[in-house]
Structure 1
Amino acid sequence: MVEVRATFTNALISSSAIIVNSMEFLEQEALSKVKKFIPAPIFTLGPLHKLAPRIRGSLLTEDDKCISWLNKQAPESVIYVSFGSLTSINKEELIEAAWGLASSERPFLWVVRPGMVHSSKWIELLPNGFQESVGQRACIVQWASQKEVLAHAAVGGFWSHCGWNSTMKSICEGLPMMCKPFFGDQLLNTNYICNVWKIGLELHELERGNVERKIKRLMVNMEGMVIRKRAMDLKKDAVVCLMKDGSTNCSLNDLTNHLSLSSV
């Protein structure tokens, strides 16, 4: 990791320009500090998934049946659960998550990747009686179109590993988050989500009672309503970024001018 960081730092220092998938208002203080150490101009062009909406970034096949299931659910009632394309958990954590979701009594859409639990083919490791206990209140798929799911009116919360792409997509849809980071930038992202932007709750221990309580705090209690209001405020700021005079649009123009001058 030291070698990776050294290579990455050298690449930054020697670059003629740096493009960041972020929004100026989200990380203004951090960006101002980074700019003091890196000579290359930094252009914030986030959210990239809004600038290039037709590009699909997933290598996994998306299951569209979850959209028809979402269409039958009440507005803002569903918690969407996805730990991304790389995170893995063990069998005990899968079981605790399953019973926590069941006990929450909330409808949920859960992405369970093949191999998310080591050597699993799909959902064969879910506990006995789980699927019968949740019935039609649950939809479990191998993969979903996350951008489409997060934008759906029925989704009211996002239980995430808090990778940066997932975080950006959630912010753009104004969704409160339940955060269970596993490694890397997910830890720092969770700190920002819960303590700086205050649009989420951190799940410290993957235990069924804790899962149930956190879901209810986020989706049912007054605390969750306050968090949802802050998340919606960030969504409005994200929309402004993409407007004609918004920070992202201005950064895109600045980048174009920079490239034009560099090629002369």
Structure 2
Amino acid sequence: MLQEMVPELHPLRYKDLPFIGFPMNQILQTINMITPKTPPSAFLWNTLEFLEPSALTRIREQYQVPIFTVGPLHKIIPTPSTSFLDEDTNCITWLDKQAPKSVVYVSLGSLANTDEKTSTEMAWGLANSNQPFIWVVRPGSVRGFEWIEFLPEGLAVEMKVRGLIVKWAPQKEVLAHFAVGGFWSHCGWNSTLESAFEGIPMLCQPFKLDQKVTCRYLCHEWKMGVEIVVERGEIEGVIRRVLVGKEGEEMKQRALEIQEKVKVALSYGGSSYNSLKEFVEYILSQ
């Protein structure tokens, strides 16, 4: 049943729904928290018209108020890092020494936690792929460990030969680097938009809520992503498919097409440019 399509919510399957597996009382509390208590006079969305046109159409029909699609905000309003963790900028110097589009960048965001088994499978998959990598492991993100003490000694040595493990990275700079050919992500919306702007295919490991929806769109609709099964053999195969396989070439081409559309949307006369201008005019008119 979980693989079946949800009526009127194409392309989502039941397994992609944000609250699947949550207790009913928690679902109702969350919905109540995020539902506007008064009718909104307008919506401001960090998205692009071409990425999710059917959803935007449904929202416009339901609410009958102006909707301004001004994404990606990280390019319209550049800001310094908002993370409390220090960015390891040495990884950029390491990237400078790598071949173009050869590196997989792994970062599961600022909130997700994993267990020892999952993280060890990730490590073996990265090592066995024989592809260079940058792996962001936040301190305390592997339950029961301060940092990377979960790695068996031999595996830790092998990983140092093949790649780089850091506590945090300057993600926008990393994704913009010529050496990065794939982004293994939790499919958070900000990370997804950053990857789309740079034309980087994504390896998708969603954890909860909207991440599962975004993963489905990346893999099924936008065709610039592939979902990861966290098992070392599967991980090894997916990394190779994305970085050096024929399927990866197709994904890279699709990601570059999306990148071009994003840049057009941001440029003079593009949908995001116009929407931001209309939003300013709307605010001034109130």
Question: Under a length normalisation based on structure 1, what TM-score does the superposition of the two structures give?
Answer: 0.95
Q: 2:54 is matched with which residue?
A: 29
Aligned match of 1:79 in 104, 110, 114?
104
Give the SS at the match of 1:86. coil
Structure 2 regions of 5+ residues with no counterpart? 1-26
One-letter amino acid matched to 1:57: T
TM-aligned CA deviation for residue 128 of structure 1 = 2.1
> Per-residue CA shift, 1:126-157, capped at 9, x if unaligned?
12211222333211100001111000000000
2:145 pairs with 1:120: yes
**Structure 1 stretches of at least 4 aligned residues deviating more than 6 Å after TM superposition:** none
> Per-residue CA shift, 1:82-134, capped at 9, x if unaligned?
00011111001111100100000000000000111113211111122112223
Q: 2:274 is matched with which residue?
A: 250
Q: What percentage of aligned pairs have identical amino acids?
A: 47
One-letter amino acid matched to 2:246: M
Q: 1:221 is matched with which residue?
A: 245
2:36 pairs with 1:10: yes
2:195 pairs with 1:170: yes
TM-aligned CA deviation for residue 257 of structure 1 = 1.0
Between the aligned partners of 2:208 and 2:276, the Cα distance in structure 1 is 31
1:156-195 aligned within 5 A:
156-195=181-220
2:231 pairs with 1:202: no
Work out the number of aligned pairs and report it. Answer: 260
Between the aligned partners of 2:217 and 2:117, the Cα distance in structure 1 is 28
Give the SS at the match of 1:140. strand
Between the aligned partners of 2:117 and 2:34, the Cα distance in structure 1 is 36
> Per-residue CA shift, 1:1-58, capped at 9, x if unaligned?
31331232224x5222211110111111110111111233211110000012233232
One-letter amino acid matched to 2:72: P
Between the aligned partners of 1:26 and 1:163, the Cα distance in structure 2 is 15
Q: 1:100 is matched with which residue?
A: 125
2:140 pairs with 1:140: no
For structure 1, which segment, 68-77 or 38-47, has the greater mean C-alpha deviation from structure 2 after superposition?
Answer: 38-47
For structure 1, which segment, 61-70 or 34-43, has the greater mean C-alpha deviation from structure 2 after superposition?
Answer: 34-43
> Per-residue CA shift, 1:156-203, capped at 9, x if unaligned?
000111011110100000011111111111100000000000101111
One-letter amino acid matched to 1:238: V
Aligned match of 1:42 in 67, 71, 95?
67
Give the SS at the match of 1:14. coil
Q: CA RMSD in A?
A: 1.2
2:240 pairs with 1:234: no
Structure 1 regions of 5+ residues with no counterpart? none
Question: Under a length normalisation based on structure 2, what TM-score does the superposition of the two structures give?
Answer: 0.88
Between the aligned partners of 2:153 and 2:93, the Cα distance in structure 1 is 26
Between the aligned partners of 1:48 and 1:136, the Cα distance in structure 2 is 37
Give the SS at the match of 1:139. strand
Q: 1:155 is matched with which residue?
A: 180
